[in-house]
Amino acid sequence: TNYNGMQFTREVSGVASEKGTIHVTDTGTSYNTTSDKTHKTDNGLLTAAQAWAILRLIEIHNYTWIDSGKDDIGPFAQDLYEVYPNGVTPGAWFDEEGQPANVAVIGATYLPWSVDHSKLMPLVVTALQNLDQRIAALEAAAA
The tens-digit pLDDT sequence of the chain (143 residues) is 445 777 777 777 777 776 778 888 888 888 888 888 998 999 999 999 999 999 999 999 999 999 999 999 999 999 999 999 999 999 998 888 888 887 777 888 888 999 999 999 999 999 999 999 999 999 999 99
Q: In what order do the strands lie in the sheet with 4-12?
A: 4-12, 15-24, 29-33
pTM above 0.85, yes or no: no
Backbone angles phi, psi at 18, to 5 degrees: -70, 135
The 3-state DSSP class for residue 121 equals helix
